Chain A
Amino acid sequence: MTELAIDIENLTKDYPYGFLHLKKRRSLESLTMQVQAGEVFGFLGPNGAGKSTTIKLLMRLIFPTAGSARILGKPISDIEMHRDIGYLPEQPYFYDYLTAAELLDYFARFHDFTAAERRERVQRMLKKVGLESAGRIQLRKYSKGMLQRVGLAQAILHDPAVVVLDEPMSGLDPVGRREVRDIILELKKQGKTVLFSTHILSDAEMLCDRVGVIVGGKLQGVGAPSELVGVKAQGMEILFELPADAASGGELLAQATRTGDRYRLQVEESGLYTAMERLGAAGAKILSVTQVKPSLEEYFMHLVEADRAQSAAVEVRAK
Chain B
Amino acid sequence: MTRIGTVALNTFREAVRDRVLYNLVFFALVMMAAAILVGQISIGIEQIVIVSLGLSAISIIGLLISVFIGVGLVSKEIDKRTLYALLAKPLRRWEFILGKFAGLVLTLTVNTAAMAAGLFLALFYVKRSLEQADTVVLIAVYFILLKLALVVALAMLFSCFTTPLLAILFTAGLYIAGLFVHEMRGLQGGLIDPMLGRLLRWISYLLPNFENFDVMGAAAHGRVIPGALIAQNTAYAVVYCAIVLAVAMAIFSQRNLK
Q: Do residues B82 and A94 form an inter-chain contact, with CB atoms below 8 A? A: yes
* Those of A84-124 within 8 Å (CB) of chain B: 85-89, 91-95, 97-98, 106-107, 109-112
Count of A residues near B, CB < 8 Å? 31
A20 at interface, CB cutoff 8 A: no
Contacting residues, chain A, for B80 (C-beta < 8 A): 93
0/1 per residue, B1-16, Cβ < 8 Å to A? 0110010001001100
A26 at interface, CB cutoff 8 A: no
Of the candidates B6, B83, B85, B91, the one having the most CB atoms from chain A within 10 angstroms of its own CB is B85
Shortest C-beta distance, B1 to chain A (Å), equals 12
Q: Do residues A110 and B6 form an inter-chain contact, with CB atoms below 8 A? A: yes
Q: Do residues A111 and B89 form an inter-chain contact, with CB atoms below 8 A? A: yes
* Those of B208-258 within 8 Å (CB) of chain A: 254, 256-257
Q: Do residues B256 and A63 form an inter-chain contact, with CB atoms below 8 A? A: yes
B127 at interface, CB cutoff 8 A: no
- Give complex CA distance A62, B88 in Å: 12
B131 at interface, CB cutoff 8 A: no
Contacting residues, chain B, for A154 (C-beta < 8 A): 85
Binds B, one of A42-50, A53-61, A279-287: A53-61
In-complex Cβ contact of B6 among A94, A98, A109 (8 A): A109
- Give complex CA distance A117, B251 in Å: 36
- Give complex CA distance A154, B82 in Å: 13
In-complex Cβ contact of A110 among B13, B84, B91 (8 A): B91
Q: Do residues B13 and A97 form an inter-chain contact, with CB atoms below 8 A? A: yes
- Give complex CA distance A83, B88 in Å: 9
- Give complex CA distance A82, B96 in Å: 15
Q: Do residues B84 and A82 form an inter-chain contact, with CB atoms below 8 A? A: no
Q: Do residues A60 and B87 form an inter-chain contact, with CB atoms below 8 A? A: yes
Q: Do residues B17 and A61 form an inter-chain contact, with CB atoms below 8 A? A: no
Contacting residues, chain B, for A86 (C-beta < 8 A): 88
**Taking A79-B90, A110-B89, A111-B89 as contacts, is the C-beta distance between A95 and B254 under 8 angstroms?**
no
Contacting residues, chain A, for B256 (C-beta < 8 A): 61-63
Contacting residues, chain B, for A107 (C-beta < 8 A): 85-86, 89
Q: Do residues A93 and B81 form an inter-chain contact, with CB atoms below 8 A? A: yes
- Give complex CA distance A107, B10 in Å: 11
* Those of B90-111 within 8 Å (CB) of chain A: 90-92
A261 at interface, CB cutoff 8 A: no
Count of B residues near A, CB < 8 Å? 24
Contacting residues, chain A, for B85 (C-beta < 8 A): 87-89, 92, 94, 107, 151, 154-155
Q: Is the interface of B mostly helix, strand, loop or mixed?
A: helix
Q: Do residues A89 and B90 form an inter-chain contact, with CB atoms below 8 A? A: no
- Give complex CA distance A86, B83 in Å: 14
- Give complex CA distance A87, B85 in Å: 7
A251 at interface, CB cutoff 8 A: no
A80 at interface, CB cutoff 8 A: yes
- Give complex CA distance A86, B90 in Å: 10
Q: Do residues A95 and B257 form an inter-chain contact, with CB atoms below 8 A? A: no
**Taking A62-B257, A63-B254, A97-B17 as contacts, is the C-beta distance between A106 and B84 under 8 angstroms?**
no
* Those of B1-59 within 8 Å (CB) of chain A: 2-3, 6, 10, 13-14, 17-18
Q: Do residues B88 and A82 form an inter-chain contact, with CB atoms below 8 A? A: yes
Which residue of chain B lies nearest to A84 when distances are taken between CB atoms in the complex? B90
Which residue of chain B lies nearest to A78 when distances are taken between CB atoms in the complex? B90
- Give complex CA distance A89, B82 in Å: 9
0/1 per residue, A69-82, Cβ < 8 Å to B? 00000000001101
- Give complex CA distance A93, B91 in Å: 18
Contacting residues, chain B, for A63 (C-beta < 8 A): 254, 256
Q: Do residues B90 and A61 form an inter-chain contact, with CB atoms below 8 A? A: no
Q: Do residues A92 and B84 form an inter-chain contact, with CB atoms below 8 A? A: yes
- Give complex CA distance A196, B80 in Å: 22
**Taking A107-B85, A151-B85 as contacts, is the C-beta distance between A97 and B18 under 8 angstroms?**
yes
**Taking A61-B87, A82-B88 as contacts, is the C-beta distance between A97 and B14 under 8 angstroms?**
yes
Cβ-closest 6 pairs across A and B: A87-B88, A97-B17, A89-B84, A110-B89, A62-B256, A82-B90
A sample of 21 cross-chain residue pairs with beta-carbon separation below 8 angstroms, ordered by A number, consists of A61-B87, A61-B256, A62-B257, A80-B90, A82-B91, A83-B90, A85-B88, A89-B84, A89-B88, A92-B84, A93-B81, A94-B85, A97-B14, A98-B13, A106-B6, A107-B85, A107-B89, A110-B6, A110-B90, A112-B2, A151-B85
Residues of A that sit less than 8 Å from B by CB: 56, 59-63, 79-80, 82-83, 85-89, 91-95, 97-98, 106-107, 109-112, 151, 154-155
